[in-house]
């Protein structure tokens, strides 16, 4: 221990220790709750704004879409590694889907088509005003049995879905032959 000639501590050691920062209430200053709340709100809003969920069913209400987005956002805030794992799984599945479509004679099928398919972007239009969402397995099944003709779908059509009229916005339609 450091001492002086009269057995006292030097001035820098004799001053009372400042306690570590702990919970600070917020009447006059920015307290702990204010900091935590602003951090949480920023993370939540950023996570909310980057969500690109599957295409909603035309029968979904605004409340159902809101609840779905809220659930995914909450999950992303609590367990971001789960969202990362889901994204990796979707990427691998989309890659396999592209290979499968290439094997079935559709060399124009790209990752954009695959992700759009996983989002529920393709619908089978029966021509009588009824339609159903179809996934890639169902599209290949219908093509193999000559129930539909799958014409080339340009990537620009998928990229421009958000610019379609409201009635056609949620799906690109495949027509029965």
How many other CB atoms are there within 10 angstroms of residue 101's CB atom?
22
pLDDT of residue 174: 53
pTM given for the model:
0.61
> Is residue 155 classed as helix, strand or coil in its secondary structure?
helix
Mean pLDDT of the chain: 77
What percentage of the chain exceeds 90 in pLDDT?
12
> pLDDT for 136-160, tens place per residue?
888 888 888 888 888 888 888 887 7
Task: Provide the strand spans (E) within the chain.
Answer: 122-125, 131-133, 172-175
**Alpha-carbon span 17 to 74, nearest angstrom:** 41
pLDDT tens for each residue of 105-140:
889 999 999 988 888 788 887 777 777 888 888 888
């Amino acid at each position: 221990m450091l001492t002086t000639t009269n057995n006292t501590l030097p001035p820098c050691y004799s001053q009372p220790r400042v306690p570590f920062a702990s919970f600070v209430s917020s009447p006059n200053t920015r307290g702990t709750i204010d900091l935590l709340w602003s951090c949480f709100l920023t993370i939540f809003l950023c996570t909310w704004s980057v969500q690109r969920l599957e295409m909603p069913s035309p029968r979904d209400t605004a409340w159902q879409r809101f609840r779905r987005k809220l659930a995914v956002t909450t999950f992303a805030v609590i367990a971001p590694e789960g969202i990362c794992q889901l994204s990796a799984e979707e990427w691998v599945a989309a890659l396999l889907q592209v290979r499968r479509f290439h094997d079935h004679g559709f060399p124009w099928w790209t990752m954009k088509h695959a992700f759009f398919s996983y989002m529920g972007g393709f619908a089978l239009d029966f021509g009588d005003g009824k339609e159903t969402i179809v996934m890639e397995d169902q599209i290949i099944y219908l093509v193999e049995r000559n129930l539909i003709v799958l014409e080339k779908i340009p990537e620009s059509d998928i990229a421009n879905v958000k610019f379609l009229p409201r009635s056609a916005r949620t799906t690109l339609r495949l027509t029965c032959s």
